Amino acid sequence: MSTATKTTETAATGSERRLNMIEAINEALDISMAKDPDVVVMGEDVGYFGGVFRCTAGLQEKYGKTRVFDTPISECGIIAVAVGMGAYGLRPVPEIQFADYIYPGLDQLISEAARLRYRSAGEYIAPMTVRSPFGGGIFGGQTHSQSPEAIFAHVAGLKTVIPATPYDAKGLLISAIEDNDPVIFFEPKRIYNGPFSGYYDKPVQPWKKFDASIVPEGHYKIPLGKARLATEGEELTIIAYGTMVHVVEAVCAEKGVEADIIDLRTIVPLDIETIEASVKKTGRCLIVHEATRTAGFGAELSALVTERCFYHLEAPVERVTGFDTPYPHSLEWAYFPGPVRIGEALDKILSE
Amino acid sequence: MADRPPAEGDRTAAKAGDNRPTLSLHVPEPKFRPGDTVDFSHIEVPEAGAQPRPDETTDPKDMRDFAYGLIRVLGDDHKAHGPWDPKLDPETLRTMLGHMAMTRAFDERMFRGQRQGKTSFYMKCTGEEATSVSASMALAGDDMIFPSYRQQGILIQRGYPMIEMINQIYSNKGDKLKGRQLPIMYSSREHSFFSISGNLATQTPQAVGWAMASAIKGDSRIAATWVGEGSTAEGDFHSACLFATVYNAPVIFNVVNNQWAISSFSGFAGAERATFAARGLGYGIASLRVDGNDPLACYAAEQWAANRARANAGPTVIEFFSYRAEGHSTSDDPSGYRSAQERDEWPLGDPVMRLKNHLIAIGEWDEERQQAMDLEAAEYVKKTTKEAEANGILGHGLHHPFRTMFEDVFEELPWHLQEQAEQAIRERETKFPGGLDL
């Protein structure tokens, strides 16, 4: 467990302010902009309006229109312009309004931003952080619900970060902005206002009721590539990130299962040490993500666990994921990998 | 297959009772194919000096005609005419000629080197030298260039060491890009020359971003990007134009219309319907169409656009109307898709010859000096090639050490790349026990 950090430990160092994830992200942007005049924020509706999810609220007023501005509805243009700004020496933080809209910008991310350092042997870099709300559970239909993280994990040269708490969102975003490599920063929008138990028909509990919303004032960083142990237990290891961390926590609590729940925080670079240590301890591994199953990031995790921990395993590695369909609107909760699907997998893996 | 829509035959059959006219698809076809007699009389070539020169801050909506005309300075009499004459002194003109001659000599030798197996790939810019050399001379040396792949003339004009270019082309141990890039995909931060991608038109919105950054920071440097007429079809070019006009970015879009995109003529990029300069008009961008084989016109247009950008008066689209005298690259044979007569019949001539004849016409040059210059350029390239070959040629083992393959993917080497690097070195030791440099 050497590399993982526990939220309760780290949060205790700050004051007792409680923020939701939107406020934490906003504060990370604010602090980064105040600290470094080269940080600029741009995207659709991020300026005067402050973003459709309010993550950039107040920033234009504070830092001016040349550092926080609206853009045309052109994700290709947004990412490309950020590459050029990075080449100049700025540190752009573009927002893609929904991860589902990022695809027109993929060539600029995959062929340009991700490879610029490599192809120029370090002469030019693309130190951008692409923020984008992702994931479902908000009745967003097939174009406001996707989890495309595996696409980015597959690209050499991109880092992909997915926070699961307000405390982490702030510390990870500051790290991402200060990182000299391009970072995809996916914000699980289902948990912007409060963690999610997986029961869509139960009221959302606001972040303020949870210690992970204790966010210290000022600048702090959470290193990219270090996982968080959300809970500790001997029965099995559950690897998750984003919204699903909270769903598996709720299911385990409900079923009385004591698990090491690893919140990856970053999928590239991956905290393999924490995963290996935990699986070797528990001998069982369940991987949970909301994204579609085939060639999802769970496949990579399953392969790594099998390659590195095979002789410690008591049961086959299990995956719980979204189905291999577009994200449906009316049947969203049939699609979502919720308590029933996770519960079934837990029963199976623990009975082996 | 039950849900398959009706096949074409079904639709045709259904047409019997349909009084709507039959639709037909237009597929563009170039005027001349191999073996055809070439007649370019349909291309309008206005008199040199006939075009007025608007003020650099002119509103684009008052400049519509410049996107459809053709700015020309050098006439058939080899003299400079009209308000676009940049009135360069003879020494500057000789320098320009020298860079163009050097670019041509470089292309000749590198092309031959590829044929001799010294590298995998090369691209000449023959006939298009003015669009890079002359245009670049009108910019400040620290204005940022976002090139496409045929602007070697800019690096030569900016004094980038030729040995660096050849090392890159050979992917040898002297290549400062560590053998990672296809030949000719140069990069030189020191010369304000952005890393060439190889994916088309991606550099155009990046140039806009750089220009926006320069404006955000209150800098005085502008950005200039080059793109082929074929690549203006990419969405990136349109995103670039849009962002440039929205933020009034200090950027110049140089569209080199050399008529051919590998084997596809400019009609497949829309040339049958409008000029490429006209693309700027829809975005409210000042747009100039220029004789791309007229070095003085190229210089003058770039200077106009640079003045405009520096005055915060906005971006410019320049179409350099030119002709790709050689194949797209070493990988295609143009005799397979176009008439060999095109090059000779091209109505705008050859840029090197036109500048040479101009200098002779004004009494500042002669054939003897031209021959001596050409010889000197060829000798310089030959000597530099030999120096570069001492660092190795492609595939002969003198490349960068193996571990460099894993460097620069990220700023720091993560564990998974560290493991893969160790594997690569193990494989190398197995293949060459005690052998090559690791």
Q: What is the tens place of the pLDDT at every residue in A144-203?
A: 999 999 999 999 999 999 999 999 999 999 999 999 999 999 999 999 999 999 998 898
Of B148, B206, B234, which to mutate for an interface test with A (greatest number of A Cβ within 10 Å)?
Answer: B206
Q: A55-61 contacts: CB < 8 A, separation 24 or more?
A: A55/A22, A55/A25, A55/A26, A55/A29, A55/A95, A55/A131, A55/A187, A56/A26, A56/A29, A56/A95, A57/A26, A58/A26, A58/A30, A59/A26, A59/A29, A59/A30, A59/A33
Number of cross-chain residue pairs from A and B with Cβ atoms under 8 Å apart: 141
What is the ipTM metric for this complex? 0.95
Cα–Cα distance for residue pair A274/A223, rounded to 1 Å: 14
Q: Report the Cα A94 to chain-centroid distance in Å.
A: 16
8-state DSSP, A89:
T
- Type of residue at B259: Q
Which residues of chain B are at the A interface, by a Cβ-Cβ cutoff of 8 Å? 144, 146, 176-178, 180-181, 185, 187-189, 194-195, 197, 199, 202, 204-217, 223, 235-236, 239-240, 242-243, 246, 408-411, 414-416
Say if residues A86 and A127 touch (Cβ distance below 8 Å): yes
Q: Measured between beta carbons, which residues in chain A are less than 8 angstroms from residue B220?
A: none
Burial string for A40-74 (b: 16+ CB within 10 Å, else e) reads: bbbbbbbbeebbbbebbbebbeebeeebbbbbeeb
Contact A85 B213 (CB under 8 A): yes
Distance CA(A181)–CA(A158), nearest Å, equals: 7
Averaged pLDDT in 10-residue chunks for chain A of 352 residues = 43 71 98 98 98 98 98 98 98 98 98 98 98 95 96 98 98 98 98 95 93 97 98 98 98 98 98 98 98 98 98 98 97 96 98 91
Which 3 state secondary structure label does DSSP give B106?
A: helix
What does the radius of gyration of chain A's CA atoms come to, in whole angstroms?
19
Q: Do B206 and A123 touch (CB under 8 A)?
A: no
% of chain A residues with pLDDT over 90: 94
Question: Which tokens hold the place of B40?
Answer: 């370019």
C-beta neighbour count of B331 within 10 angstroms: 12
Residue of A nearest to B144 (CA): A88
Q: How far apart are CA A246 and CA A209, in angstroms?
A: 14
Q: How many CB atoms lie within 10 A of CB A214?
A: 23
Instruction: Encode pLDDT of B292-340 as tens digits.
Output: 999 999 999 999 999 999 999 999 999 999 999 999 999 999 999 999 9
| Structure tokens belonging to residue B416 | 């998974």
Residue B4 has pLDDT above 90, yes or no: no
Residues of B in contact with A82 (CB under 8 A): 209
**What is the band of B398 on the pLDDT scale with cuts at 50, 70, 90?**
confident
Report the relative pairing of strands A228-231 and A159-161 from DSSP bridges.
unpaired
Q: Please report the pLDDT score of residue A11 as a whole number.
A: 44
Does the bond joining B334 to the residue before it have cis omega, within 30 degrees of 0? no
Closest by Cα among B358, B385, B295 to B112: B385
Q: Where in the sequence numbering do the catalytic residues of A fall? A: 144
pLDDT at A14 (0 to 100):
46
A63-106 confidence digits (pLDDT tens): 999 999 999 999 999 999 999 999 999 999 999 999 999 999 99
The pTM is what?
A: 0.95
Strands of B101-187, DSSP E: 144-146
- Provide the 10 A C-beta neighbour count for residue B9: 8
> Which residues in chain A are contacts of B204 at CB distance < 8 A?
80
Q: What percent of chain A has pLDDT over 70?
A: 96
Asked if B243 and A116 come within 8 Å (Cβ–Cβ), the reply is no
pLDDT for B209: 98
Number of Cα atoms under 13 Å in the Cβ half of residue B289: 23
Nearest CB partner across the interface for A180, out of B187, B411, B416:
B411
Interface of A with B in 119-178 (CB under 8 A): 119-125, 156-157, 159
